[in-house]
Structure 1
């Protein structure tokens, strides 16, 4: 029997990154504008690498 191997994309759209991070588009765009989150462009499309989203989330301050 053939096994289906799930593929996890490395490049995320803005909407996908928002869902994964649990934040809104405005907050995500602010992080990009401030240089806290790296974003790539392919044509008119913006892509956020999964690893860079993880780095951004890890760098957020801890709460008490």
Structure 2
């Protein structure tokens, strides 16, 4: 079976653990985001899968990420 990376146009789905590792947060934080609807996911049986595109969009538009980037920009300007 070939991996999805070899098939352009196919959505890659991440496990909760993979999302937690990318975001450097706990699995419980990812579950909270999924249950609140802040992070879109698909339920497969008793587990969740998160589309890679949804994670990328969440990280790009997250207020916490934007605030951190603005803070780093201010640090660079004052240095």
Give the alignment's TM-score, normalised by structure 1. 0.74
Report the equivalent of 2:48: 46
Q: Where in structure 2 are the equivalents of 1:4-23 lying within 5 Å?
A: 8=5, 10-23=12-25
Runs of 4+ aligned structure 1 residues displaced above 4 Å come to none
Query: Could you tell me how far 1:45 is from its partner in structure 2?
Result: 2.6
Report the equivalent of 1:24: 26
Whether 1:59 aligns to 2:67 is: no
Query: Could you tell me how far 1:11 is from its partner in structure 2?
Result: 0.7
Query: Could you tell me how far 1:12 is from its partner in structure 2?
Result: 0.6
Greater relative contact order (Cα 8 A, min sep 6): structure 1 or 2? 1
The higher radius of gyration belongs to 2
What root-mean-square deviation, in Å, do the aligned CA atoms of Structure 1 and Structure 2 show? Answer: 1.9
3-state SS in 2 of match to 1:41: strand
Q: 5+ unaligned residues in a row in structure 2: which ranges? A: 6-10, 72-79
